[in-house]
Structure formats: C-alpha cells, structure tokens
Structure 1
Amino acid sequence: MSEESKAKQPQSPHVNSDADAHAKMVKGSAWMTAGSLFSRILGAIYIIPWVMWLGNHYSQANALYAKGYNIYSFFLLVAIGGIPSAISKQISEYNAINEYGVGQRLFKRGLLLTAALGLLSGLILWFGAKPIGFVFGGSDPNVIPVLRALAIALVIIPSMSLTRGFFQGYQQMAPSAISQFIEQVFRVVYMLGATYFIMKVQTGDWVNAVTQSTFAAFVGAAASFLLLAWYYYRQRPELNRLAAQSDAKLVIPVWQLFKDIIVQAIPFIVIDTATTVFNLLDQATFQPIMQATFHTKVVVINDLYALFAFNANKLVMIIVSLASAIAVTVVPLLSESLASGNFRNIRKQLEDAIVLFLFIMIPGALGMAAVAQPLNTLFYSYSQIGTMILQISAFTAIVLGLFTVVSALMQGLSRNRDIIRFYLIGLAVKLVVQWPCIYLLSAAGPLVATAIGMAVASLMALYDLEVNFGIRYVKLLPKVNRILIYSILTYIAATLVVHGLNLILNEQSKTQAFLIVILAVAAGGAVYAYFALKSRLADLMIGGRAAGLRRKLRIK
C-alpha cells in the first residue's frame, strides 16, 4: 500500500513508543498547521480587495464586522466549542482499548446533539439579535442584520466541527486541515463576489456588503461539511471493519453517551471561549471607558476599535493559529497515554508540545512585529498608530498562543477544573487592569490587559503541569534559549531590511510595501532556518529531514 493510501485509512492509535508519539505529534501538527495557516493567510489576503472596494467606509465596516463576529464566535463556541475536542478525546480513549464500536456510536449520537444545538443557538441569535446587539454592539443598529446573517451559519457548523473531531480522534488531521482550507476558499470567494457586486456594480450600501460578507460563513461551512461527508463515506468500510473487530466489552446506554459528551464538552467550551470572552469584554468596555475618560466621539472610537479588534487581530491570528494546530494535535495523544497509564510518555509529550510551540510561535510573532509597518500598509493603509497596534498585537500573540497550548495540555490530561480556575483568575486580572491599561495606552490598552490576564493563567497552568506530571523546565532551557536567540536575530534581520528598503522605496505604496514584506520575511526566515539547522535544533522538530536539508544547503 502506498504512503498516500495509508494516510487515507483510519489508524489504530494503540500505545506507541516515545518516537512514534513524537512523530505523530509532529505529523499531526504539520497537517493542522498547514491547514490553519493557509486558511488564516487566505482569510487575511481577502482584506486587500475588500478594503479597496469599501473605500472610505472600510474602517467603520471593519468595526462592524468585528462586533458581529465576536458575538457570533461566542455563540458558536458555546454551541460547539468543546464538542469536537471532547469527541476527539473520548474516541481516542475508546480506540486505545479496542472499543472502536463505542467511539463510532458516540459520533453518530453526537451528530444528533450538535444538530439540535446548532438549530437552538441559531434561533436564539436570530430572534435575540436586537437586544444582544444593543448590549455588545454599542447600540449600533447595523449589528442586527449582521448577527442574523451569521445565525444561519450556526445551524450547520456544530455538526461539521463534530465530524472534524471524529477524524482527529483517529489521529487523522488531513480531513480537518483540508476541510478547513476549503471552508475558507468558499467563504472568501462568496464574500468578495458579493462585496464587489454590492459596492461596484450596484454602488450599494456598505452595511449590506458587510452583512453578505458575514453570511459567507454559511457558504464556507456548507462546502466544508460536504467534503467531510465525502471523507467519511470513503472510509466507512474500514471504520466498519475496526468496529467489527472491537472487544465489545463496553455496553454504554444512549443517555450515557449524551451525558459523556456534555460532561466532557463543558470544560472545553469554557476554555475555548476564553479568547472570545476577552474580546467581548473589550467590545463592551472600550467605548464607555474611552467616552468617560477622553470624551471621544463614537466614530473615532470605532476607528480605534477596528485597529486592534479587526485590523491587527486578522493578521495576528495567522500566527496564533499555529498554536491552535499544536493544541488540537496533542489532546488525543495525551488522552491515549493517560488511558494506558504511561506517565513517562505524558511527560515527554508535554515537553515536546511546549518546545514545538515555542519553536514556531516566537519567531513568527517577532517576525510579524518586524514587518508590521509594510504589512499594515499592504492590508489596510499607511498608519503609524496602526503599525504600533500591530506590533503590540504580535508580541501579545505569544501569550495568547501559550494559553491555547497549555489549556489543551491540561484538558488532554483531564485537569479540567484546574484550567477553568486558572482561566477565571486570568479573566479577573484582565477586569482589574482593563481601565488603567486603556487610560494609559488607549487602543493598545485592551491588548496589554489581555496579555497580562492570559500570562497569569498560563503561568499557573505551567506550574500545575510541573507539580503533577514532572515537566522539567530546566531541561528545556537550553532549547528555549536557542529559540529565543535565533528569533531575536530573525527580528533584527527583518527589521534592517524594512528600514533599509524604506530609504529607497515609498513606504506608503501598497505595491512597494508588498515587496518590502516579501524581502524582509525571506531574510528573517533564512536567518532562522540557518541557525535552526546548523545548531541541530530543527532535528527535534522535523527529524531526519533536517539532515537532508543541511546537505542540500551545504550547512555543516
């Protein structure tokens, strides 16, 4: 059987050696990183024509889009946030003890549950759009049609996400990654087509353009769900074979399956909504604090809000998605090791996950901070304050990503109550520092307040993992120090290229900003790749392929 054919078959995730577990983590992270990264990049690139077609309305449109999407994201995560991860975790545990049939029954019953949750949440958002928009939309009536357009997507996305979780339970990340990318392609195509038709052909209303742009979430989700259904249909014979050869010693009633899903999902829902709750807190408090403190006009506040809630967030989420990819991959692996009582494997997987996260996240964040000025010009317009906000967002992304990963590690090890407690403490810290941060830093204040709150929660979680599972952070220090040094060198290289090219190119031109970004990213990436390969640090991440790259690049 070819490698490609093997990749398409459900794999039996029995207990593996350290090397096998590490290889699965790297491979799974590679798939999820690729899918998430391409999706996020595509989800950022569309901004360039979208902003151009919206013209002078783009800043207000960005603010409206962010307000609607933050509310929608909260509803979406409450409806499904924990279910894919919970299903992935449970199926992985059942498969580890050769009870494939139970896992497949769990999936089928879960589809019924998610269909009901999707319909219920969609109806609540549709009929509650007016009061919800009043509370979290700053009394903006334009939020109402946007929320109703997004309510339609809520109906099918829970079942789609559950199906992704099913494949992840078999440690198959390709269906999830590819469907994620397809979802984004269809969403962006519809979004841009509708916006162009409304703004350029009809010379229409920008609010209608934003409404149709948010309805694109349904179009993308429908395409993704159809692809996942096709994957499942192709693999059904193999799934039936695995179920037939199961031990079949567990007899679990239907009501117990539903209870298991809900009990497992609640902690995931609480944690998965963490970033969205932080964003909603910003949405609800930024306008009144700015009005009370600086007596700023609403139009100006919306412009400032768009800078960090939409503009910077869209770009920064590209690198935060890398952390999410690692988090999704590590949960079933940890659950499998926990089910088999292999604490040596658990410690190794925890250490690998943290190092892998830092290896990707730190240079990504510092690199984005280095190219913030031309990147902001390319996607939006030349703006010094926009550049500053993007730089701050890039640095705070490290903390957001860290919380994403450590919370997944805790949940994979069934330490749900502890991570929820740490998150609530972090949220309380955010509430305490929100006003002084906005008072001192204006539009950058919410970002800094979020970073402080998330840092507190993350540090508490890291300490918990050290105490209960014996992670040896001192052992990781040499690798972490090298990652940090190489990331700083990457930042310096990219920054020098940006400043050097700004002397001979027009930094306010989108075309020339694109050239600056490409050259600066290439220079910074080359520096990081060189040192990672030369120091053998890359070997920890990509194994034997690193040696081949060194030979091709003649790095000794």
Structure 2
Amino acid sequence: MSKDTFLKGALILTVAGIVVKIIGSVNRILLSRLLGGEGVGLYQMAYPIYLLALSISSAGIPVAISIIVAEKLARSDYRGANRVFRISLGVLAITGIVFTFLLYYGAGWLIEHHFVRDARAYYAIAALAPAIFFVTVLSSYRGYFQGLQMMTPTAVSQIFEQLFRVVTMIAFAYILLPHGLEFAAAGASFGAGPGAAAGLMVLLYFYWRHKPGFKHKMETQPMVIQESSVSIVSRIVKLALPVSLANIMLPVVSNIDLLIVPARLEVAGYTVEQATELFGYLTGMAVPLVNLATILTASLAASLVPAVSEAFTLGDKQLIYQRISTAMRISNLITIPSFMGLCLLATPISLMLYGTPNAGMSIAILAVGIFLLGIHQVTTGVLQGLGHTAIPVINMGVSAVVKIIMSWTLTAIPALGIMGAAWATVADFGVAALLNMVFVYRYVGFSLNIKDAFKTIIASVVMGAVVLLSYDAIMSQTLHNSVATLGAISVGGMVFGIVILLVGGVAVRDIEQLPRVGRKLAVILTKLRLLRR
C-alpha cells in the first residue's frame, strides 16, 4: 500500500461514507418495520448513552494519533510512528475495557435512578457494552493508518463494520422478537459489537499486510532519540481532548434544541402537536439532507489533518497553503451547487423522500448552511492538522451560544416559527466557519479565493435556472414528482459540469488528482480547451 494524496484519500472516504449511509438507511427501514415505534424507542433510549460513553473513551483519539504519526513520518522517524501506535493501542485497550464494564454494570443504575425512564431499556443498554471495547481499539488502528495517509483501510473497515452491524442487528432482533420487545431491542443493540469486531478484523488484515514493509523502514532508518511514553500519552490527550469535547457538544446542542425549539413554537401560538411536527421536519428531515450533502467535505477534513500536519512539520508553508486552497476549491465545487439545487427543489425533494411537502421550507433555509458547514469542516481539519485542536471547539462553543439566543428569539416570532429555528442553525454554521477562517488566516495567511468562488456561483446560478425549467417541463409531461425531481437533478448536474469547465472554474491539477482516471481525463479536457492550467 502506498500513501494517498489527500484528495484521493478524501474521495476514498467519501465513497465509503455514501455506502455506509445507504446501508444505514436500509437498516432504519427494516428495523422500523420489525420493531415498530415502541421497539425503536427502546433502542433509541440506549444508543445515545452508548455514544456518550464512546465519545469519552475514544473520540478524538484517531485525530490525535494521525497528527503525531504524520509528524513522525515527515521526519522519517518510522520507529517513532510505530511507537505512537503501540502506546495508543495499549492505552485505548485499557480505557475500552473500563468503559465496557462501566456501561454493562451501570445499566441497572441508570434505570434505578430514572435517567432512563423505561426499565425495559436495561437489556438494550447492557447489550451495547461489548461494542465499546472493539470500537475503542478500532479507533487506534484508524488513527494510525490515517497518519500514514492511507485511507483505504479506514474506508473498507467502515463498510464492513456497518454491513456486519446491520446484518446482526436485524438477525438478533428477529430471533429475539418472540421473547418480547425489550429483548428484540437488545438484540438490535448487540449488533454494534459484531460490527465493530468485523471492522477491527479488516484493519488487522491491512496492518499485517503493511507490517513487513514498515518494519524494513524502521530497521534501515538512522538512529533517532525516541520520545518517552509519558510524553506521547500526554500529547495524545492534549490533542484528543478538545476533539472529544467537540463530539460531546454535538448531542448537547441537539438536546438544547429539543428543550428550546418546541417550547418557543408553543409561545408563537402552535399547539404541542404542531410544534412536535415542525420540530420533526427540521431535525428529522432537513438536517439529514444537509449532512448528506457534506459527506465529501467531512472526508476532505479527515484527509487534510495528516496532510497539513506533515507539511507543517516540514515547515513547508507553501505546501500547506496549496493543500488548503485545493480542499477549499473542491469544497465550494460541491457545496455551492448543492445549496442551490436543494434550496430550489426543497419542496419536491421533501415530497419525494418523505412523502410530504411540509418539510420544504425548513430544507430550503437549511440548504444555505451546506456551503457554510463545508467551510467549517475543511477549516477544522486545517486547524487540527496545525495542532490547534482546541480552537475549533471554542469556536463551536461561541457559535452554539449564538444559535441558542437566535433560536430562543426567532422561533417565538409567529411570522417565523420553525423558520427562525432553521435560520439559527444556519447562523451556527456561519459563525463557526467565520471564526475558523479568521484563525486559518492568522496562522497560514489563507483566505477564500473570491474569483474561484464567483465562477462556481455563476455555474450554480445557470444550473439553478435549468433545474427549475427542467422540473416544470418534466412535471408537465409526466405529472410525477419523483420522476421530475430526479430528472431535474440529473440535468442540473450535467449543466453545472459543463458551465464550470467553460468558465474555467476547474484547474488541470484538480482533475489530475482524481484516482486512476485523473491524468487521462485532464489530457482530454485540455485538448478540448475546457481546462485551465
């Protein structure tokens, strides 16, 4: 296995992310049909507790390991990189065991003290405990390979983990359903363990396959004074703690939304049932679409961390700037047209996916956040790669305060209602992105290329006009919303691709970095004078 370019690594992770999302969607459909609302409710009572325990035990560790490993490799210190991995693996194995036992034996305590209201959820909580050990150990291997800038092991393990998780979830839920709904929910929860174990087996395969070549490099490298175990553990904790806090903040902010938005909608004049319905449109329908549109930017951020760390260790500011510039340009090429298309087709997409047009307004407003969230994710990866992992967390905290104030104020205005909550979420993304950009400019001197962004905006506007015309034309012929929506999206995508090439919004180097077909495609497009140098 060879080191990936950061763009190739991002594309590999993106493909894996899409596959994982598809498998997850199938899982939600099958599990809902099998367990019904009550059974899924028992599962959902247990799963957030598992995620919280996982966030404390391992979240942030892959980022920390990838930063330090990339730093060691930049100095050709292969022994040091291997030492970081072995120490982190030992530490995480211990924390994984501790939190596994804490969750297993703490399940009864959570029920007894009414932190979980339904006693039947005990079995689902206890069944999730074994997964913590496997996922925690898994995170060490993923951090190691990401530090080596090899994204294929992480991508393949994610797919296998999700696949085995879904198969075992459905199988155990089906087998245990005759014994009672609480046992079926526990069977579904238990699936996380075999899934994580399967992902770990994949990573072990890649590790043993990679080990001989890496061992040879360790044996032939010059003698380097090795960092102490205490120093390595200290650096991992220092880098990982802010990332862990960021991961914990996400569900905390979601729970704050749960407390604020429905209550303020009632102040605006809605009934409890109407407030719950509108909250579901925003958080259950609009937010997942935004997250889906930013899979690539999230992958870019993950791939940027070791790439920027390597360049920073070498003191190559030009390389850092170049990698940030490429990542930001690619991000804009995805997020700006995604925002335009989702905003214009919000109601048809809502009807196609969810069977109701009522989520359209929330989707249209939240679509603006796609562009801002993309910038936030990319700049977070840059700052983490530079070793400033605390800065994005602080910025997230500031943006969360802005969101809370705006949600409290705007949602209670009758003329806005749920639209106020949606705009508050957009402001949350925007403030976090802006603050991150300020610090990236301070440390690297990078700012958005207005000329490149303008070209993308022009192509997106042309695409938007074609999308609307195409939807109306196809709809008038077929009278079928789903056919018209998919047709308009397809036509819009082709038009955007053609226009962005015509206005010079894509450079040769962007195409050349595409895996396998990049160089040949760049030659063809250059001969056709559709690419700029």
- TM-score with structure 1 length normalisation? 0.82
Map Cα deviations across residues 130-165 of structure 1 (whole Å, 9 max, x no partner).
887999989566766554444442222121122111
CA distance in structure 2 between the partners assigned to 1:222 and 1:191 by the alignment: 14
CA distance in structure 2 between the partners assigned to 1:44 and 1:549 by the alignment: 38
Deviation at 1:224, TM superposition (A): 1.1
Structure 2 residue aligned with 1:480: 453
Structure 2 residue aligned with 1:424: 397
Pairing of 1:191-270 with structure 2 (within 5 A): 191-193=169-171, 205=181, 212-270=187-245
Structure 2 residue aligned with 1:96: 74
Deviation at 1:100, TM superposition (A): 0.9
Deviation at 1:234, TM superposition (A): 1.1
CA distance in structure 1 between the partners assigned to 2:468 and 2:99 by the alignment: 46
Pairing of 1:161-180 with structure 2 (within 5 A): 161-180=139-158
CA distance in structure 2 between the partners assigned to 1:247 and 1:177 by the alignment: 33
- SS of 1:247's partner is coil
Deviation at 1:97, TM superposition (A): 0.8
Map Cα deviations across residues 184-223 of structure 1 (whole Å, 9 max, x no partner).
2223334455566778xx6974x76665444433332221
Asked whether the equivalents of residues 243 and 390 of structure 2 are also in contact (C-alpha less than 8 Å), the reply is no
Asked whether the equivalents of residues 437 and 447 of structure 2 are also in contact (C-alpha less than 8 Å), the reply is no
Asked whether the equivalents of residues 319 and 364 of structure 1 are also in contact (C-alpha less than 8 Å), the reply is yes
Structure 1 residues 174 and 458, CA, compared in 2 at 3 Å: closer, same or farther?
same
2:88 to 110, 134, 150: 110
Structure 1 residues 316 and 218, CA, compared in 2 at 3 Å: closer, same or farther?
farther
CA distance in structure 2 between the partners assigned to 1:113 and 1:61 by the alignment: 36
Structure 2 residue aligned with 1:413: 386
1:26 and 2:26 matched: no
Asked whether the equivalents of residues 136 and 280 of structure 1 are also in contact (C-alpha less than 8 Å), the reply is no
Question: Structure 1 counterpart of 2:500, which letter?
Answer: A
CA distance in structure 1 between the partners assigned to 2:63 and 2:302 by the alignment: 7
CA distance in structure 1 between the partners assigned to 2:41 and 2:336 by the alignment: 29
- SS of 1:415's partner is coil
Question: Structure 2 counterpart of 1:92, which letter?
Answer: A
Deviation at 1:82, TM superposition (A): 1.1
1:383 and 2:356 matched: yes
Structure 2 residue aligned with 1:538: 506
Deviation at 1:389, TM superposition (A): 3.0
CA distance in structure 2 between the partners assigned to 1:124 and 1:292 by the alignment: 41
Deviation at 1:118, TM superposition (A): 2.6
2:488 to 516, 520, 535: 520
Structure 1 residues 100 and 444, CA, compared in 2 at 3 Å: closer, same or farther?
farther
CA distance in structure 2 between the partners assigned to 1:130 and 1:462 by the alignment: 46
CA distance in structure 2 between the partners assigned to 1:373 and 1:351 by the alignment: 34
2:446 to 471, 474, 478: 471
Structure 1 stretch displaced more, 426-435 or 383-392: 383-392
Structure 2 residue aligned with 1:332: 306
CA distance in structure 2 between the partners assigned to 1:357 and 1:274 by the alignment: 24
Pairing of 1:282-297 with structure 2 (within 5 A): 282-290=257-265, 296-297=271-272
Structure 1 residue aligned with 2:319: 345
Map Cα deviations across residues 380-424 of structure 1 (whole Å, 9 max, x no partner).
4x2122333333343323333322221121121122343333222
Question: Structure 1 counterpart of 2:487, which letter?
Answer: L
CA distance in structure 2 between the partners assigned to 1:482 and 1:135 by the alignment: 58
Asked whether the equivalents of residues 73 and 276 of structure 1 are also in contact (C-alpha less than 8 Å), the reply is no
Map Cα deviations across residues 246-303 of structure 1 (whole Å, 9 max, x no partner).
3331222222222221112112223344433322322344455456665744x66555
1:119 to 90, 97, 104: 97
Question: Structure 2 counterpart of 1:166, which letter?
Answer: Y
CA distance in structure 2 between the partners assigned to 1:192 and 1:503 by the alignment: 42
Asked whether the equivalents of residues 40 and 321 of structure 1 are also in contact (C-alpha less than 8 Å), the reply is no
Pairing of 1:308-457 with structure 2 (within 5 A): 308-380=282-354, 382-440=355-413, 441-457=416-432
Structure 1 stretch displaced more, 493-502 or 113-122: 493-502
Question: Structure 2 counterpart of 1:431, which letter?
Answer: I
Map Cα deviations across residues 106-149 of structure 1 (whole Å, 9 max, x no partner).
11111122223233334444555588799998956676655444
Question: Structure 1 counterpart of 2:334, which letter?
Answer: I
Deviation at 1:87, TM superposition (A): 0.3
- SS of 1:439's partner is coil
Asked whether the equivalents of residues 270 and 420 of structure 1 are also in contact (C-alpha less than 8 Å), the reply is yes
Structure 2 residue aligned with 1:18: none
CA distance in structure 2 between the partners assigned to 1:136 and 1:503 by the alignment: 56
1:43 and 2:24 matched: yes
Asked whether the equivalents of residues 172 and 188 of structure 2 are also in contact (C-alpha less than 8 Å), the reply is yes
Asked whether the equivalents of residues 78 and 221 of structure 2 are also in contact (C-alpha less than 8 Å), the reply is yes
Identity %: 24
Structure 1 residues 113 and 219, CA, compared in 2 at 3 Å: closer, same or farther?
same
Question: Structure 2 counterpart of 1:532, which letter?
Answer: I
Structure 1 residue aligned with 2:516: none
Asked whether the equivalents of residues 37 and 322 of structure 1 are also in contact (C-alpha less than 8 Å), the reply is no
CA distance in structure 2 between the partners assigned to 1:277 and 1:248 by the alignment: 47
- TM-score with structure 2 length normalisation? 0.85
Structure 1 unpaired stretches of 5+: 1-7, 12-22
2:436 to 422, 446, 461: 461
CA distance in structure 2 between the partners assigned to 1:485 and 1:141 by the alignment: 57
CA distance in structure 1 between the partners assigned to 2:490 and 2:401 by the alignment: 41
Structure 1 residues 144 and 453, CA, compared in 2 at 3 Å: closer, same or farther?
farther
Deviation at 1:227, TM superposition (A): 0.6
Considering Cα pairs closer than 8 Å and 6+ residues apart, tell me whether 1 or 2 has the greater RCO.
Answer: 1
CA distance in structure 2 between the partners assigned to 1:366 and 1:399 by the alignment: 13
Deviation at 1:44, TM superposition (A): 3.0
CA distance in structure 2 between the partners assigned to 1:490 and 1:63 by the alignment: 42
Asked whether the equivalents of residues 338 and 370 of structure 2 are also in contact (C-alpha less than 8 Å), the reply is no
Deviation at 1:327, TM superposition (A): 0.4
- SS of 1:384's partner is coil
Map Cα deviations across residues 474-524 of structure 1 (whole Å, 9 max, x no partner).
xx11111111222233334334444444445565xxxx73x4454233212
Asked whether the equivalents of residues 271 and 407 of structure 1 are also in contact (C-alpha less than 8 Å), the reply is no
Structure 1 stretch displaced more, 160-169 or 262-271: 262-271
Deviation at 1:551, TM superposition (A): 8.0
- Count of residue pairs brought into register by the alignment: 522
Question: Structure 1 counterpart of 2:312, which letter?
Answer: L
CA RMSD in angstroms, aligned pairs only: 3.5
